Structure 1
C-alpha cells in the first residue's frame, strides 16, 4: 500500500467527502514514553490543523455528522483518554492558542479536588515551576500506589478547561477496570459490575458538571455484547473504540459502522507533517478504505503469526 502513492501531499488536494477522522491522544508531556506526544510535536500538529482550515468538532456536532447532518469538509474530532494532569499543563494552552477544541474521556473515579495548578505559559510561568508530568509507566505506578492526584486532573482544572472552551468531558468509566478480565466466565457478575461502573461515571459527571452525555469511550478499547448492552441500558448511544481501520461516515453511506463503533487512530509523536499524511489516508474516499483494509489484514496476519510461533515453542 505504501508504494501506491509515495507522497500523498504531492497529489492534487481532494475533498474529504463524508468521513470525519477521530484523533486519539493520551499524554502531552516532554517526559517521553508510550502513548505520548511531546508538547512541541503536539503544537506542530494543532498548528497544522489550524493553518490548513480544519474545524475541530464538538461531540454533539460529530454525533450530528454520524446521523447525516452536514459538517465542514475539513472536520476532525480531537479526543483524549483518561484525564492526565499533563493535558491541563501542556495541551490546554496549545488548544487555546489555536482556537481548537478537544473531547476528553475522563476516568471519573480518579479525579480529585484541590486548586487548579499552573499550566504552560500562565503569567510567564517558568518551566521549572510547572507540575511534574511523568511518562505513562510512571503514571501507572503512581496510580497503583493511590497517588492519583500527582498525575491526574482535578475538578477545578476540568471546570477551567470547560469554561475556556478548550475541552469538553465525557465518560471513560469510573475506574477503568476491565471487568471481563476480573470476572472471567461469570457473565452475570461482569454485567453487574459494568452496569455499576457506568452508573457511577454518569452520576459523577452529572453531580460535578451538571450534565452526563451519551458518549462513552471503552477502557483499552475493549467491548463485547455484554458491555454494549449495559452501555445502552445506562443511556449511552455513542461508543468510541481504539480501532483505527475504518471511516466515520454518515448514516446511509456505504460502509457506515454507526455510532456504536466509532473509529479512532492514535496520533504518533511526530510533527504536523506526519498528521497531514495520516489525515490524507483517513479522509480519501477511494484510498482511505483500501488503506484501512490493508492495515487491518496486516495486523490480523501478524497476530496469527505470533500465535502460531507461540504454539511451536517447546
Structure 2
C-alpha cells in the first residue's frame, strides 16, 4: 500500500441551505463527500492523524475533515451525509454553548427539520439565551459519536478572545487557563474523556497560549493557517488547515491535491504568502 507523505486538513463551519459566509450548502457538501469517497480518500480519525505526524503510515489519499464550533446544522445536514458515504470528521466544540434536551430531526428522517440560520444570525444567537436554536445538544453529539460520523474535541469553553478583553498578559493567561480547564472538565463529564487535540478559538494563538495548552494536556493544536503542509515530523503545535468553499467536488479535489503535492504545494503556499504580504504593504 502506498503511503501519504502529507495529509491535508479541511476546515468547515456550517453545512446549511441558509447561504452565507463560511457555509457549504448540503448539495455541495454531498458532492464533496461523495467525490472524496469515490476517489478513494480515507478520512482519518484524530488518533490516526496524530499517529501520522509521529511517523506512522497512513493511506496515500488521506485527509482530515474538521468542523469548528458545534452548530446544529452539523447534525442536521453534515452528519447524515458523512454517514451515508462512510466518511468521518472531527468536530471542535465550544463546550459552554452545548445544550441539553432530546436529539432533533436530521436530514433523511421523517420529522420536520429544525431551522439552521446563516452564520451572521447564528453568531448573534450562539452567545445569547437562544443559543439552543443554533448549537448542538449533548444528545446529538452522543448520537453522532455513536454512529461514527464525528468525534469531538475542545474548541475551549467560551470561544473568547481573552487577548482583546484583558488588559495585561497575566490576566489574559489566567482566563485562558480557566477556559481550557473548564472545557476539559465538561468533555470528561459529558463524553467520558478528553483528547489532546485543541482548536484555537477565532484562530488566535500566541506563544503564551501554546505553552498553556501544553500545560493543560493538549498536544495537537489546530490553526486557521492554510499555507503550510502537515507532514510526518511536523510540529503538532501548528497544524495547517484550509477553508472549504461552497463549491463542488472538482474544486475540492484540486485544492486537496495542491495541499498535498510535494513540489507544487510549497510553491503555491509561498505565492499566497507573498501576495498576502504585498497586500499588507499596499
| Matched-pair contact (CA < 8 Å) for 1:96–1:164 | yes
Q: Deviations over 1:69-113 (max 9, x none)?
A: 000000000000000000000000000000000000000000010
Q: Residue 198 in 1 paired to residue 180 in 2? A: yes
- Indicate the residue corresponding to 1:79 in structure 2: 66
Q: Deviations over 1:52-71 (max 9, x none)?
A: 00000000000000001000
Q: Residue 282 in 1 paired to residue 259 in 2? A: yes
| Matched-pair contact (CA < 8 Å) for 1:108–1:204 | yes
Q: Residue 136 in 1 paired to residue 119 in 2? A: yes
Q: Which residue of 138, 157, 164 maps to 1:181?
A: 164
Q: Deviations over 1:117-168 (max 9, x none)?
A: 000001x44xxx2000000000111124321100000000000000000000
Q: Which residue of 77, 83, 92 maps to 1:96?
A: 83
Q: Secondary structure at 2:63's aligned position in 1?
A: strand
Task: Provide the rounded CA distance (Å) in 2 between the counterparts of 1:133 and 1:29.
Answer: 6
Task: Provide the rounded CA distance (Å) in 2 between the counterparts of 1:105 and 1:304.
Answer: 34
Q: Residue 250 in 1 paired to residue 227 in 2? A: no
- Indicate the residue corresponding to 1:300 in structure 2: 277
Task: Provide the rounded CA distance (Å) in 2 between the counterparts of 1:244 and 1:52.
Answer: 23
Task: Provide the rounded CA distance (Å) in 2 between the counterparts of 1:303 and 1:146.
Answer: 39
Q: Which residue of 59, 63, 69 maps to 2:46?
A: 59
- Indicate the residue corresponding to 1:241 in structure 2: 223
Larger radius of gyration: 1
Task: Provide the rounded CA distance (Å) in 2 between the counterparts of 1:155 and 1:197.
Answer: 19
Q: Secondary structure at 2:232's aligned position in 1?
A: coil
Q: Secondary structure at 1:117's aligned position in 2?
A: coil
- Indicate the residue corresponding to 1:226 in structure 2: 208
Q: Secondary structure at 2:90's aligned position in 1?
A: strand
Task: Provide the rounded CA distance (Å) in 1 between the counterparts of 2:17 and 2:280.
Answer: 32
User: Normalising by structure 1, what TM-score?
Assistant: 0.88
- Indicate the residue corresponding to 1:210 in structure 2: 192
Q: Residue 148 in 1 paired to residue 141 in 2? A: no
Q: How many residues align?
A: 281
Q: Which residue of 261, 266, 269 maps to 2:243?
A: 266
Task: Provide the rounded CA distance (Å) in 1 between the counterparts of 2:279 and 2:267.
Answer: 18
- Indicate the residue corresponding to 1:9 in structure 2: none
- Indicate the residue corresponding to 1:33 in structure 2: 20
Structure 1: segments with no counterpart, 5+ residues: 1-14, 306-314
- The runs of at least 4 aligned residues of structure 1 exceeding 4 Å deviation read none
Task: Provide the rounded CA distance (Å) in 2 between the counterparts of 1:53 and 1:17.
Answer: 13
| Matched-pair contact (CA < 8 Å) for 1:118–1:130 | yes
- Indicate the residue corresponding to 2:146 in structure 1: 163
TM-superposed deviation, 1:304: 2.6
Structure 2: segments with no counterpart, 5+ residues: none
Q: Secondary structure at 1:81's aligned position in 2?
A: strand
TM-superposed deviation, 1:16: 8.0
Task: Provide the rounded CA distance (Å) in 2 between the counterparts of 1:166 and 1:208.
Answer: 18
Task: Provide the rounded CA distance (Å) in 1 between the counterparts of 2:280 and 2:244.
Answer: 22
| Matched-pair contact (CA < 8 Å) for 2:199–2:223 | yes
RMSD, aligned CA = 1.0
Task: Provide the rounded CA distance (Å) in 2 between the counterparts of 1:60 and 1:17.
Answer: 16
